[in-house]
Structures are given as structure tokens and as C-alpha cells.
Amino acid sequence: MVARLLDSEPEEAYQYSRVALRLASRVAAVREAAGFASYVTQRYSEALTEFRAARRMTGRVDLWPVMADCERGLGRPERALAMAGEPEVKQLDKAGQVEMRLVAAGARGDMEQFDAAVVTLQSPELASSAVHSWTARLRYAYAEALIAAGRGEEARDWFAKAAEADTDGTTNAAERLAEIDGVEFVDALDPELADEESEPAVAEPAKRKGGEASDEDVIFEDDEDVEEFYDEDDLEIDEDFDGVVPERAPAAEEAKKDDESDK
């Protein structure tokens, strides 16, 4: 259960490791699993205790780099650097030696020795064009060290090399490279973005220079609105009107009746 949950639910994996320790604390695999559960959840003191116990039980040195990284997590980078110079490092395989180099460079960075961190990562493994499981992480760490040392132009090239080697997506080298180049990625499958693009634009009424709607845009709801809009004083008066209303044509009479019935 610890192995199954370590990446997705690290806190739950840690709780399982505590149970395993109560049941079988003298089993090396249990101590190692508990160490990784503590390490992933940043309980570095507990992790270091478990890793040391597992190493005593098995005599193996493959946990040496992660033990050194625990020292970094505890705020003791100088101890991590001291471990990088111990004889145990020579017993590590190539992947373990690269991991130890990464930890040592990180310790240099913790101590703000940025140029020294760059030098620490310069190695035949870094210069090799062959791609291994650790190649992307090594190149990425080197690019980060260059950034910290103020060598941004060189860092851009190494982020590109890290992205090229990172086929499994273990780093965010591609994102860092895009950030340097000023490229912004948009998720075309984002439903919220699709809703925004499909939302129709709402047309606003035409405005006059003064900010008011034009007369053509005014809608009268009923006759009262019409009466308010037209003032009686504004009506044209015929001075020669003799009081006699001329006869209307039949069509005009019908139109008048319709108007009165509507009222």
C-alpha cells in the first residue's frame, strides 16, 4: 500500500508505513518503505532514522544519496557535502553517483555557492549525448544552477536539452523553456475557455456623442409615454382655422375608427 499510494496519496502512504512499522519494525524493507514515505512528506528526521536502520540491516549503500538529501532538508547542507566525499559514494552505481552529484550541487545552492554548484554538475555524464534515466534531471539541474549563477543564455540551451531527453515528463523543462521564450500555452480542451469563446457578444444601443441613446433607439411602451414625449405646445397651430372640420375620405374615416377602437 505504501508503494501504491506514495506518488498519488503520500500522506495516506505515510499512515500505512506507521502501521507497518508497528507490525514488523525489524524487516529492512519495512524500514526502507517507511523512510521513503517520511521523505516524500518532508518528515526528514524520521526518514533519516529509517534509512539508517535499513542500511544497518542490509549493508547496502544505495540509500546514501537520499540520506544526504535528508540532511539538506534538515537545514544541514554542509553535512550533505561531507557525505558526498565519503568512500560510500564510490560503491554506488552510475545512477547513484549522478544522484549524489545532484544532491551535492543542491547543497552548494543552499549555501549560495552558485558557481560551485555549476562546477559540481559538470561531468562526463552531463557532456554525454547518450540518454539515460537520469539524463533529463541532470541537465535540468544544470540549467537551474546556471540560472542561479546569472548565466541565463546558457541555461536556455540546457533547458532545451533537458526537454529533449525528458520523454517521460519527469521535469518541467518544456515549460521552463517556453517561459524563457515568452510562449504561453492554452489548453484547447478547457471547457471554461470554450464557453467564453462561444458566448455571443451583446450589442449595445447606439450612443450619441453625449453618451445618450439616439431617438431611433427609444421604445415607447404605451400611449402615456407618447404623450410625455410630445408636448402640446410643440404642435403646429393653423392660424387660419375657421372651426369647420372638412369631410374625410372613407378610408380616412375607417382609419380614425380603428385608432379610436385601439385606444
DSSP 159-182: HHHHHHH-SS--S-HHHHHHHHHT
- CA 131 to chain CA centroid, nearest Å: 28
Written as tens digits, the pLDDT of the chain (263 aa) is 999 999 999 999 999 999 999 999 999 999 999 999 999 999 999 999 999 999 999 999 999 999 999 999 999 999 999 999 999 999 999 999 999 999 999 999 999 999 999 999 999 999 999 999 999 999 999 999 999 999 999 999 999 999 999 998 899 999 998 988 887 656 666 667 556 555 555 545 444 444 554 554 444 445 444 444 444 444 444 555 455 545 555 555 555 555 555 55
What's the pLDDT at 196?
A: 57
d(CA 152, CA 174): 16
What's the pLDDT at 78?
A: 97
Q: DSSP code of 235?
A: S
Three-point CA angle 100, 73, 119, nearest 5°: 40
At 35, the amino acid letter reads G
What's the pLDDT at 221?
A: 47
What's the pLDDT at 234?
A: 46
pTM of the model: 0.69
Residue 45: name the closest of 61, 34, 30 by CA: 34
Q: Which three cell numbers stand for residue 12?
A: 495516506
Residue 38 · residue 50 · CB < 8 Å: yes
d(CA 60, CA 39): 18
d(CA 42, CA 74): 9
Helix-, strand-, coil-residue percentages of the chain, each rounded to 5 = 65, 0, 35
**Sequential DSSP letters for 181-225:** HT-----TT-HHHHHHHHSPPPPPPPB-TTSSBPGGG----SHHH
Residue 52: name the closest of 64, 40, 41 by CA: 64
